Amino acid sequence: MTDRETLWLGAGVLFLLWLESRKKPGGESYTVPMPDPTRPEFAPHEIEITEPRKTPATFDEMASAFMQGYRDVTGEPPTTRVLAMFLAISAQETREWDAMWEWNPVNLTTVSKRGFFHIPGDPDGLKYAPYGNARQGAAATVKRFAEKFPKSFGLMLANSPEDVARMMRQEGFYTGPADAYARRVRAFFDKFAAGLPGPVT
C-alpha cells in the first residue's frame, strides 16, 4: 500500500468514527439545524455611517488624486483638459472641496452593501458612497463616468465644459438647470486649467 493510499484510508476511518460519534444512544443520528437564508435576520444589510466626516481638500491634493485615480482606472494619465474637467465637476459638486464628505469628490450615490452615508441637511436623503481616501474617490468617479455617463466622459476629450455639462444633464448626472450648472463648471475649468501643467488641447 502506498503512502497516499494509507493517508486516504486513515481519513476514511476518522470520518466513520466521526459519524458514529454523532449518533444518539439508540442508534439514531443527530441532525444539525441549518439556517434558513430567507429569514430576515440572515439577509445582508447595508452598513450606514451614522456620523459621516467632512474631508476637505486643496486643489493640489485633488489634482494629484484625479491624476492617480484616472491612471488606476484607464492605465494612462489624463490629458490636461480631462483633468481640468474632472476637477471642475468635483469643485462644483463639493463647493471647491470645502463640503466634500467621506472622500466622495462628486457626491456619488450607492446601492451596494459596502456602506453608505447621508449628507447632513440633504433634502433628498440620498445614500452616498464613502471612500478611504481622495485617490479612491477619484478613481470611483472616473469609473462611474465611464460606465454610467459614457457620452459625457467622451466629450471631455475635446469638447467644451458647456458641452460636457449639458450632456451630464441629459445622462442624468444632475437634475438642476443645465445652463447654470454649465456656467459654474466653465468658471472652475478656466480657473483650474490655468494652474495645471501643459496646454489644454
The string of pLDDT tens digits covering residues 157-173 is 999 999 999 999 999 99
pLDDT at 13 over 70: no
Pick the CATH number of 48-193 from 3.40.50.2300, 3.90.1280.10, 1.10.530.10, 3.40.50.1820: 1.10.530.10
Give 153 or 39, the one with higher predicted confidence: 153
pLDDT at 181 over 70: yes
Radius of gyration over every alpha carbon of the chain, rounded to an integer in angstroms? 27
Contact 47, 102 (CB under 8 A): no
- Position 30 scores a pLDDT of 47
Q: How far are the Cα atoms of 70, 139, 164, 183 from residue 136, in angstroms, in the given order?
A: 10, 5, 23, 28
CA distance 147 to 139: 12
CA distance 180 to 22: 72
pLDDT at 147 over 60: yes
Q: Where are the domains of the chain?
A: 3-32, 48-193
pTM: 0.77
